[in-house]
A = this chain, B = another copy of it.
Amino acid sequence: MTFKAPVKDMLFALQHLARLDEINRIPGFEDANLETAQAVLEECARLNEEVIAPLNWEGDKNPSWWRDGQVFTTPGFKEAFRQYAEGGWQGLQHPAEFGGQGLPKAIGAMCTEILNAANLSFALCPLLTDGAIEALLTAGSEEQKATYIPPMIEGRWTGTMNLTEPQAGSDLSLVRARAEPQPDGTYRIFGTKIFITYGEHDMADNIVHLVLARVTGAPQGVKGISLFIVPKFLVNPDGSLGARNDVHCVSIEHKLGIKASPTCVLQYGDHGGAVGYLVGEENRGLEYMFIMMNAARYAVGLQGIALSERAYQKAVQYARERIQSRPVDGSVAGAAPIIHHPDVRRMLMTMRALTEGCRAMAAVAAAAYDAAHHHPDEATRRQNQAFYEFMVPLVKGYSTEISHEVTSLGVQVHGGMGFIEETGAAQHYRDAKILTIYEGTTAIQANDLVGRKTARDGGAVALAVAAQVAATEQALASSGSEAAQAVRVRLQAARAAYEEVVRFIAAQAKADPVAAYAGSVPYLMLAGNLMAGWQMARALLAAEQELAAGRDEAFMRAKIATARFYAEHILPRALAQRDAIVHGAGSLKAMALEAF
């Protein structure tokens, strides 16, 4: 059950792919150099390896439980959360003026991955709190920021996102929770919210619920939804806690995975109405929530990478220990550790290549976020913002779908033992299943990719990214090594498939929306695959240079082999996806709905 944070690979991604040196030159990030990153990641690794990771399996065995409106978390979680808060980890990426450390997202993302790999169920509490902080930073009043953000950064309070209702999941236009304006400027909130992560728990003194609801008389649909702060305990002017608010956890769900993370049904206003405070303006709630959701979507992508990394490490360990059968090449005389068998190596390499590829993609996206938000030059900010926004559905959608594949292979490497819960491999497989669902299913990510990120600009950003891929192909051609050559061929083929699909999607989105959207998830998977494969190609070039400079030979050789494996085994999937997207809509439409 051990876990070791992949600090070395993270630093490689920060240095060579995310170009931390460039982020470091942005005003405000003067301290964010490679040495800082290393120190932060190593400290983060220590806490997570020693304190938080050992609670992961415990949380699966002894999930959080509900009694009379209270939720009790797994033994050990409360104390671990205290250590997490005291270490200042909740404020890592948040502004110094509210008690945060103001580090770039590129570094913060790596810490988020480590935390989620250590313990996904635990990590969900800080993750939702991050979302609440970001929403208030964007849309809250100065008073709201001053009241709610510092206690959340200190880890004394936590935050939640309250969107879903029984009839309103992906479709938030169906939200029914209502808000009645009061003479004192506050609102009374009524309604039921479901699937609220850490909606109730015992790890903090207060919980700051951010709630979507309709003000009396508001328009129907998404344009009538407002955002409210509804604290579990009302807050006195001096910041101390006042009366218990009228929001109560009436049950928690019995789930496939992330069992230690309480998934709550919250009932608002059954005893006269919960006191709520409007955030920003009325009827702009969805807009604010999307800010929060975009941050959360990126973070869920990191969760996919985190589970993949954890599953990979576990599988490697088992493959080194389990002795079974003689290798086909006769390299060992008798029964050998199964890592000697070609298919076990293929599975491990697939897990490794997918994990490193997704991590590289996420690192580059985070760097774009930092430049988009902090670079002094406006054109640079705009360009990076467009790139980041294009990448969010890919980081979320691709990395989480991939985590299914990787955690499934993780079970498979363990053979029969993988099916036994005590082994622990199955937990990662179960936990991963939520990642393609919450914060917008893969189809919702793919709708975003097709609609807002591709069709709206006629594919301009998507094709500009392809041009960057082509530039990497040029660099691979210049390298001249056999590995670079092999990668170039596959990268070029995948890029050509991607460009064909982008043009198809851009052309069809209006002309034949069923055809375009029928290909939306395959397009997302193709694009994610290409982006990850592209970053692995850049990693190969960087590793070749490092190798030439005599640095860290074993690591660089492994990176080159992994990049080549990605190109040869994963990138060709793009060809199959291209065919399905471009030629496949007809058979979808031919099926009568009644015939299913």
Interface residues of A (CB under 8 A from B): 164, 167, 169-171, 173-174, 195, 253-257, 316, 319-320, 323-325, 328-329, 335, 339-346, 348-349, 352, 404, 408, 411-412, 415-416, 418-422, 426, 429-430, 433-434, 436-438, 441-443, 446-447, 483, 486, 490, 513-514, 516-518, 520-521, 554-555, 557-558, 560-562, 564-565, 567-569, 572-576, 579-580, 583-584, 586-588, 590-596
Known: A576-B573, A588-B345. Is A412-B437 also a contact (CB below 8 A)? Answer: yes
Whether A586 contacts B486 by the Cβ 8 Å rule is yes
A521–B342 CA distance with the chains assembled, in angstroms: 10
How many copies make up the complex? Answer: 2
A565–B567 CA distance with the chains assembled, in angstroms: 28
A325–B486 CA distance with the chains assembled, in angstroms: 45
Known: A335-B173, A422-B254, A433-B426. Is A343-B591 also a contact (CB below 8 A)? Answer: no
Of the candidates A254, A341, A344, A415, the one having the most CB atoms from chain B within 10 angstroms of its own CB is: A415
Whether B404 contacts A419 by the Cβ 8 Å rule is no
Known: A340-B593, A343-B521. Is A426-B256 also a contact (CB below 8 A)? Answer: yes
A412–B400 CA distance with the chains assembled, in angstroms: 12
Whether A169 contacts B426 by the Cβ 8 Å rule is no
**Closest B residue, CB atoms, query A421:** B254
* 5 A-B pairs with the lowest CB-CB distances in the bound complex, closest first: A565-B587, A572-B579, A561-B590, A558-B595, A564-B587
Whether A438 contacts B421 by the Cβ 8 Å rule is no
Whether A562 contacts B591 by the Cβ 8 Å rule is yes
Q: What is the interface of chain A mostly: helix, strand, loop, or mixed?
A: helix
Whether B342 contacts A588 by the Cβ 8 Å rule is yes
- Among B195, B255, B346, B576, which residue has its beta carbon within 8 angstroms of that of A572? B576
Whether A584 contacts B596 by the Cβ 8 Å rule is no
Q: Which residues of B contact A564 (CB under 8 A)?
A: 586-587, 590
Whether A416 contacts B586 by the Cβ 8 Å rule is no
A319–B560 CA distance with the chains assembled, in angstroms: 45
Q: Which residues of B contact A430 (CB under 8 A)?
A: 256, 430
Known: A174-B324, A416-B438. Is A342-B518 also a contact (CB below 8 A)? Answer: yes
List 16 A-B pairs, Cβ < 8 Å: A164-B416, A170-B325, A174-B324, A254-B420, A256-B419, A343-B518, A345-B591, A412-B442, A415-B437, A419-B433, A430-B430, A483-B587, A558-B592, A561-B595, A569-B587, A575-B579
Whether A328 contacts B419 by the Cβ 8 Å rule is no
A348–B587 CA distance with the chains assembled, in angstroms: 12
Q: Which residues of B contact A419 (CB under 8 A)?
A: 253, 255-257, 433-434, 437
Taking the nearest CB of chain B, how far is it from the CB of A65, in angstroms?
Answer: 15
Q: Which residues of B contact A349 (CB under 8 A)?
A: 587-588, 591
**Closest B residue, CB atoms, query A317:** B596
**Closest B residue, CB atoms, query A313:** B596
A325–B441 CA distance with the chains assembled, in angstroms: 14
Known: A256-B421, A316-B596, A408-B433. Is A560-B324 also a contact (CB below 8 A)? Answer: no
Known: A324-B170, A343-B446, A412-B442. Is A255-B421 also a contact (CB below 8 A)? Answer: yes
Known: A411-B433, A421-B256, A446-B343. Is A592-B554 also a contact (CB below 8 A)? Answer: yes
Whether A429 contacts B433 by the Cβ 8 Å rule is yes
Of the candidates A257, A588, A593, the one having the most CB atoms from chain B within 10 angstroms of its own CB is: A588
A271–B596 CA distance with the chains assembled, in angstroms: 58
Whether B596 contacts A557 by the Cβ 8 Å rule is no
A328–B450 CA distance with the chains assembled, in angstroms: 12
Whether A408 contacts B415 by the Cβ 8 Å rule is no
Whether A580 contacts B572 by the Cβ 8 Å rule is yes
**Closest B residue, CB atoms, query A343:** B443
Whether A324 contacts B429 by the Cβ 8 Å rule is no
Whether B584 contacts A568 by the Cβ 8 Å rule is yes
**Closest B residue, CB atoms, query A412:** B436
Whether B579 contacts A324 by the Cβ 8 Å rule is no
A256–B407 CA distance with the chains assembled, in angstroms: 13
**Closest B residue, CB atoms, query A438:** B416
Q: Which residues of B contact A422 (CB under 8 A)?
A: 254
Known: A343-B446, A346-B518, A575-B575. Is A513-B587 also a contact (CB below 8 A)? Answer: no
Q: Which residues of B contact A256 (CB under 8 A)?
A: 411, 419-421, 426, 429-430
Q: Which residues of B contact A520 (CB under 8 A)?
A: 342-343
Taking the nearest CB of chain B, how far is it from the CB of A519, in angstroms?
Answer: 8
Whether A341 contacts B443 by the Cβ 8 Å rule is yes
Whether B560 contacts A596 by the Cβ 8 Å rule is no
**Closest B residue, CB atoms, query A166:** B417
Q: Which residues of B contact A346 (CB under 8 A)?
A: 518, 521, 588
Taking the nearest CB of chain B, how far is it from the CB of A267, in angstroms?
Answer: 18
Whether A329 contacts B514 by the Cβ 8 Å rule is yes
Whether A343 contacts B587 by the Cβ 8 Å rule is no
